[in-house]
């Protein structure tokens, strides 16, 4: 490759809002449920039914918009996007085109070159579609409208990102902000956060944008990173071969690590957008905006500062713990119960992070209760168990959310404080390892550690490490 | 009471007689069902008649009236409902093949309000398919005929409701009015029809044609009935975001024979070219009667009249093209028998399910919303709509009521209008701008032409000023007695002989 290329990326991110009911009716938004049980005449588009806007949707959209520094359209409207497809019961989707609720915002991301602003073109509210199930066996298609009318916001970025890393950083940032606001759980796998990637390449230094493609079906950050890399390469190859990049929508297949064209610009639909006459304009007063601002929960930056100030955590620790809203929630709950912030932070930073990595899990997937971690901290702190046993117990808490007090009793894991028993065991270890004793006396510190280890092993880890050290030193003279 | 005596009553008169124990709701329903049987072969006012359900309801309502639970003026009175208003468990077709078997699982708020007041529902009345038309000839279930002369149309789109009231097949009916669909057929059938201010009656359960223009309204024998029915229908409904919360819904309060000092404006633009001379004469005569009663008449230039029809057809068709896209053969209604794939199913089901007038408006609406045409047509039409509203605002700064014809002519013969849709559209000239401006309008019979066909006078009020037009209409109708078409009277007479 002789030339240098620059990748230009913009994102369209759909986020399912955490409202209890749908955007235009009172049906539940709960995930799952037998097909077509969370439905009514409105979300199945029955003739004569009418949409009524869920105010909470506006509040969440406003909260997100304000948190990403957007301007608010204080007179915003809903428009109909017309297209025929059976997952869309009215054959139009109620969305916003002409006057979206938020516009012209930005978020700041960290890049190796320092901080970078990613512009947000607009945020609009819309309804989700139902789910089509194709039954190959029966050769028919079925529709489940449970998801029809679940509220979404679409966050449209400017084409400000230049690499997969920047895209991931932007998405992580958005996800955290939205999770902190409580506006959505933003789970990519479950589809409560979905990203479409608009990507083009151009020769480095060029000021004109190349022809872009839009990629859909990206279900994880990893898939997004792979898809960006794949599409970047594909477009550069086309350019190098002197072939045109076609403006089209492509579907990413993460198993095959390649994409295929879904539809080209020529088949682009004319959605015939027009203002929905069933929904009066949404008028957002200064007071309403003020109210949302005042109710804005603590966001990550504020939380980080507070953790350093209030709990004396290091910046590094505060950064890691606030890196997940769920982790921060656990941290605060544990601290509130046991009053030991440093300990709580340590368990989460070291053990929890290790286990997450080991199991390839997101912090959001941790299911143990703060009470159980607080109990564990207490058990270690008052010497009921030692730290080594504590780690073993934590693994149980992490995996099965066991009650550590009960578990320690049942498994007999209490620290042995019986001085005589301990002395007897250590005497046995010393006499069984003459070589190590000799090494110790000849100045090899490692040998002491070996003997401690042997003792702990023989005590199944239940010995108080302080006592082991003291007795061993005494016996070795 | 004899059937003929019962059928000659207005809705409010019947309600009172039921309350006084002079007649029962069941007797009224039986009388009206007999009249339906006699008239339907000639008129075809109904798409669906629910004889058994009506009798059951009547028995139940009668018990509740006797128990003192139902005390309203309309308790026990049989009503017919236009076929674009949903009733749980009752077939609702919009007179279209595409909804030939559609049975809603919910009831329109307007009908809920009627039921709460003790109304007995007889069935669903015929209409132009999806309320698109001015003659009730575009119905997939055959045209309705005018009870004054079955060779003529009853007007439309609420032609079934108006013909049914005129022929005493019900005591009052619900219609819907998007561009004159209550007021024009009321005028053609010699009955009274009222379209309230946009937002007064909930649209929940009304199958949408042009959502920003559609309103449900009453059709009845006189202004008193219309006011009483409107009082029952009007309500703030949380299920309709365009529904308005009103505190002034005591419409019957305005039933006063007093127009002294009322300022009535007659738009000169409503009396010019295209207006039938006999209609003009009858309407001006009605105005003079009110003047004699103390109203102050003045002729003025309303303006913008020529733009109302193009603006209306752009806006209503645009909304309709989207509103009617849900009829696709997927979930309910008509689906083509043989088709190739999903798009084949859409195309065939819709091609076979919709009639030509509906297709024409869907195509027109899709066109004006297409990219590249949106600004030139749809946005321009919205601007025109705003200017029409402004013209009315100016007029209502000077007048309490605007008076004019409801239609340029009396009812045309069957088949005359469909051949020339443009001419049919022009027939809506006096009613359409009222919908564009969201105003209330009332049509009251004011005479007949030389062919014996009824003529109606239209009273237009400012937004939320239904009481002004009710007062004007009530005062006017004190000078004449309700006239029933001979055909309907003959049917009753026939029964008397038996």
Q: Tell whether the model's pLDDT for residue B158 goes beyond 80.
A: yes
Q: How far is B413 from chain A (nearest CA, A)?
A: 32
Mutate to test the interface with B, among A35, A50, A83, A144 (most CBs of B within 10 A): A50
Instruction: Quote the percentage of chain B above a pLDDT of 90.
Output: 94
Look at the block and give the residue holding tokens 């032609």.
Answer: B159
Which two three-digit tokens encode residue A237? 């190859």
pLDDT of residue B497: 47
8 Å CB contact between A416 and A422: yes
Identify all chain A residues contacting B94, using CB atoms and an 8 Å cutoff: 47
Contacts with B, A 121-180, CB within 8 Å: 143
Least CB-CB distance to A41: which of B94, B106, B371?
B106
A114-127 and A131-135 strand pairing: unpaired
Inter-chain residue contact B328 with A273, CB threshold 8 Å: no
The per-residue pLDDT for B200 is 98
Strands B441-448 and B401-405: unpaired
Range with the poorest average pLDDT among A211-220, B231-240, B434-443: A211-220
Interface test with B, best of A42, A95, A134, A277 (most B CBs within 10 A): A277
Q: Is A39 on the interface with B (CB under 8 A)?
A: no
Q: Do A273 and B204 touch (CB under 8 A)?
A: no
Question: Taking CB atoms and an 8 Å cutoff, what residues of chain A touch B378?
Answer: 274
Across the range B143-165, mean pLDDT stands at 98
Instruction: Say whether A50 and B203 touch across the interface (CB within 8 A).
Output: yes
Is pLDDT of B79 > 50?
yes
Mean per-residue pLDDT, B325-332: 95
Return the pLDDT at A342: 92
Contacts of B241 in chain A (CB under 8 A): 50-53, 278-280
Contacts with A86 from chain B: Cβ below 8 Å? 328, 330, 342
Q: Do A274 and B86 touch (CB under 8 A)?
A: no
At B496 the pLDDT is 53
Determine how many CB atoms are found less than 10 A away from the CB of residue B32: 27
Chain B CB within 8 Å of residue A319 CB:
no
Classify domain A419-476 at the CATH class level.
mainly alpha
Residues of A in contact with B240 (CB under 8 A): 50, 52
Nearest to B241 among A82, A272, A279 (CB): A279
Q: Looking at the predicted structure, is the pLDDT value of residue A266 above 70?
A: no
Which residues of A fall within a CB distance of 8 Å from B205? 48-49
Tell whether A278 lies on the interface with B, counting CB pairs under 8 A: yes
Q: Inter-axis angle of helices B356-369 and B305-323, to 10 degrees? A: 100
Q: Which residues in chain A are classed under CATH 1.10.10.410?
A: 419-476
How high is the pLDDT of residue A328?
A: 94
- Tell me, what's the pLDDT at A267? 66
Minimal C-alpha gap between A101 and chain B (Å): 18
CA of B352, closest CA in chain A: separation in Å? 17
Predicted confidence (pLDDT) at residue A268 exceeds the cutoff of 80: no
Distances (CA, A) of A173 to A195, A313, B223: 14, 22, 65
Please tell me the predicted confidence (pLDDT) of residue A440: 87
Enumerate the residues of chain B whose CB falls inside 8 A of the CB of residue A277: 210-212, 242, 319
Task: Check residue B498 and give its pLDDT.
Answer: 43
List the single best residue of B100, B102, B241 to mutate versus A (max A Cβ within 10 A).
Answer: B241
Following DSSP, what letter does each residue of B246-271 receive, concatenated?
-S---GGGG--S--TT-EEEEEGGGS
A456-461: Cβ within 8 A, 24+ apart = A456/A388, A458/A425, A458/A428, A458/A429, A459/A416, A459/A422, A459/A425, A461/A386, A461/A388, A461/A389, A461/A392, A461/A413
Does A230 touch chain B if contact means CB atoms closer than 8 Å?
A: no
8 Å CB contact of B205 and A48: yes
pLDDT of residue B495: 62
Q: Which domains does chain B have, with CATH numbers?
A: 3-302+390-497 (3.90.1300.10)
Please say if the pLDDT value at position B208 is more than 80: yes
Pairing verdict, β B78-82 and B172-177 = parallel
pLDDT at B362: 98
Chain A with chain B: Cβ pairs closer than 8 A: 98
Of A48, A91, A272, the CB nearest to B207: A48
Question: A455 or B242: which carries more pLDDT confidence?
Answer: B242
The string of pLDDT tens digits covering residues B342-374 is 999 999 999 999 999 999 999 999 999 999 999
* Catalytic (active-site) positions of B: 82, 157, 181
Interface of B with A in 357-396 (CB under 8 A): 366, 369-371, 374, 378
pLDDT tens, residue by residue, A272-303: 999 999 999 999 999 999 999 999 999 998 99
B494: confidence class by pLDDT, cuts 50, 70, 90? low
Residue of A nearest to B106 (CA): A41
Q: Which residues of B touch A27 (CB under 8 A)?
A: none
Segment A382-411 mean pLDDT: 90
- Confidence class for position A412, pLDDT limits 50, 70, 90: confident
Beta bridge partners of A213: A199
> Which range, A334-348, A391-405, B79-93, has the best average confidence (pLDDT)?
B79-93
H runs (alpha helix) in A262-386: 286-294, 300-310, 315-322, 325-338, 341-346, 353-359, 370-381
What confidence tens digit (pLDDT) does each residue in B384-427 have? 999 999 999 999 999 999 999 999 999 999 999 888 777 788 88
Mind giving me the DSSP string for A373-422? HHHHHHHHHTTSS-HHHHHHHHHHHHHH---HHHHHHHHT-PPB--HHHH
Q: Span B286-307, mean pLDDT?
A: 96
Whether a cis peptide bond, with omega within 30° of 0, leads into B157 is yes
| Chain A hits for B332, Cβ within 8 Å | 46
> Best of B178, B198, B322 to disrupt the A interface by mutation (most A CBs within 10 Å)?
B322
A47 touches B: beta carbon within 8 Å: yes
User: Searching chain B, which residue's CA lies closest to the CA of residue A271?
Assistant: B370
pLDDT value of residue B128: 98
- Segment holding B456, helix H or strand E: strand B454-461
Question: CB B212 to CB A277 under 8 A?
Answer: yes
The predicted-structure confidence for A69-128, as pLDDT tens digits, reads as follows 999 999 999 999 999 999 999 999 999 999 999 999 999 999 999 999 999 999 999 999
Share of chain A above pLDDT 70, in %: 99
Whole-complex ipTM: 0.95
């Amino acid at each position: 490759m002789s030339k240098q290329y620059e990748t230009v990326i913009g994102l369209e991110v759909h986020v399912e809002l955490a409202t209890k009911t749908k955007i235009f009716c009172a049906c539940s938004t709960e995930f799952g449920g037998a097909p077509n049980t969370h439905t009514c005449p409105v979300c199945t588009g029955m003739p004569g039914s009418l949409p009524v806007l869920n105010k909470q949707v506006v509040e969440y959209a406003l909260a997100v918009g304000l948190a990403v520094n957007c301007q608010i359209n204080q007179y915003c409207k809903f428009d109909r996007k017309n297209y025929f497809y059976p997952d869309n019961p009215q054959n139009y989707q109620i969305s916003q085109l002409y006057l979206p609720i938020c516009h012209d915002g930005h978020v700041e991301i960290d890049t190796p070159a320092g901080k970078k602003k990613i512009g947000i073109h607009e945020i609009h509210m819309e309804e989700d579609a139902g789910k089509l199930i194709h039954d190959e066996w029966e050769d028919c298609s079925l529709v489940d409208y449970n998801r029809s009318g679940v509220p979404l916001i679409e966050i449209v970025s400017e084409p400000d990102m230049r690499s997969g890393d920047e895209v991931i950083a932007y998405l992580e940032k958005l996800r955290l902000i939205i999770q902190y606001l409580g506006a959505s759980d933003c789970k990519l796998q479950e589809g409560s956060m979905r990203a479409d990637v608009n990507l083009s390449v151009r020769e480095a230094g060029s000021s004109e944008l190349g022809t872009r493609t839009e990629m859909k079906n990206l279900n994880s950050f990893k898939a997004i990173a792979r898809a960006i890399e794949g599409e970047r390469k594909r477009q550069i190859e086309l350019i190098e071969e002197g072939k045109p990049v076609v403006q089209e929508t492509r579907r990413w297949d993460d198993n095959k690590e390649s994409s295929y064209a879904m539809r080209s610009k020529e088949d682009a639909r004319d959605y015939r957008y027009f203002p929905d006459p069933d929904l009066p304009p949404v008028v957002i007063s200064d007071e309403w905006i003020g109210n949302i601002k005042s109710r804005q929960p603590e966001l990550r930056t504020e939380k980080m500062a507070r953790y350093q100030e209030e709990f004396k955590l290091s910046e590094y620790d505060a950064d890691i713990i606030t890196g997940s809203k769920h982790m921060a929630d656990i941290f605060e709950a544990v601290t509130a119960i046991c009053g030991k912030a440093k300990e709580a932070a340590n368990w989460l930073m070291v053990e929890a992070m290790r286990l997450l990595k080991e199991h390839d899990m997101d912090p959001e997937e941790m299911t143990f209760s703060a009470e159980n971690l607080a109990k564990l901290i207490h058990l270690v702190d008052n010497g009921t168990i030692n730290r080594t046993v504590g780690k073993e117990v934590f693994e149980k808490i992490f995996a099965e959310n066991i009650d550590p007090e009960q578990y320690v009793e049942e498994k007999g894991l209490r620290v042995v404080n019986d001085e005589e028993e301990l002395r007897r065991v250590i005497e046995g270890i010393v006499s069984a390892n003459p070589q190590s004793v000799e090494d110790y006396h000849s100045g090899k510190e490692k040998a002491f550690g070996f003997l401690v280890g042997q003792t702990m092993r023989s005590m199944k880890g239940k010995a108080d490490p302080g006592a082991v050290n003291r007795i061993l030193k005494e016996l070795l003279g | 009471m004899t059937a003929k005596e019962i059928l000659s009553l207005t809705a409010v008169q019947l309600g009172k007689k039921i309350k006084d124990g002079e007649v029962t709701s069941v007797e009224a329903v039986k009388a009206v069902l007999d009249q339906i049987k006699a008239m339907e072969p000639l008129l075809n006012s109904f798409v669906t008649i629910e004889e058994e359900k009506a009798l059951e309801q009547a028995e139940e309502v009668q018990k509740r009236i006797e128990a003192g639970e139902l005390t309203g003026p309309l308790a026990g009175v049989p009503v017919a409902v236009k076929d674009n208003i949903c009733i749980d468990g009752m077939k609702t077709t919009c007179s279209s093949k595409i909804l030939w078997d559609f049975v809603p699982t919910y009831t329109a708020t307007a009908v809920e309000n009627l039921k709460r007041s003790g109304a007995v529902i007889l069935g669903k009345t015929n209409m132009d398919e999806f309320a698109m038309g001015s003659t009730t000839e575009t119905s997939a279930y055959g045209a309705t005929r005018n009870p004054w002369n079955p060779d003529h149309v009853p007007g439309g789109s609420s032609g079934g409701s108006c013909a049914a009231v005129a022929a005493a097949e019900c005591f009052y009916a619900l219609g819907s009015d998007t561009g004159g669909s209550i007021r024009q057929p009321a005028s053609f059938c010699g009955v009274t029809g009222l379209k309230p201010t946009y937002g007064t009656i909930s649209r929940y359960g009304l199958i949408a044609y042009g959502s920003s223009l559609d309103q449900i309204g009453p059709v009845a024998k006189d202004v008193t009935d219309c006011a009483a029915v409107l009082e029952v229908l009007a309500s703030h409904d949380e299920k309709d975001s365009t529904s308005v919360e009103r505190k002034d819904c005591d419409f019957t309060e305005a039933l006063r024979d007093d127009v002294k000092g009322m300022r009535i404006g007659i738009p000169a633009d409503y009396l010019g070219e295209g207006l039938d001379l006999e209609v003009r004469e009858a309407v001006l005569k009605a105005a003079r009667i009110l003047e004699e009663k103390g109203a102050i008449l003045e002729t003025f230039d309303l303006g913008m009249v020529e733009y109302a029809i193009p603006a209306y057809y752009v806006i209503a068709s645009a909304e309709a093209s989207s509103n009617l896209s849900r009829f696709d053969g997927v979930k309910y209604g008509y689906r083509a028998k043989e088709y190739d794939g999903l798009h084949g199913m859409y195309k065939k089901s819709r091609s076979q399910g919709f009639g030509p007038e509906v297709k024409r408006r869907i195509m027109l609406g899709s066109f004006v919303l297409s990219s590249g045409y949106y600004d030139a047509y749809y946005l321009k039409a919205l601007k025109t709509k705003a200017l029409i509203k402004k013209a009315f605002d100016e007029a209502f700064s000077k007048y309490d009521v605007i008076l004019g014809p409801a239609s340029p002519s009396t009812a045309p013969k069957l088949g005359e209008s469909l051949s020339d849709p443009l001419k049919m559209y022009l027939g809506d000239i006096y009613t359409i701008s009222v919908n564009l401006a969201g105003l209330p309008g009332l049509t009251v019979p004011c005479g007949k032409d030389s062919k014996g066909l009824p003529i109606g006078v239209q009273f237009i009020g400012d937004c939320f000023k239904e009481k002004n037009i009710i007062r004007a209409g009530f005062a006017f109708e004190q000078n004449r007695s309700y006239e029933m078409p001979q055909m309907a009277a003959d049917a009753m007479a026939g029964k008397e002989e038996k």
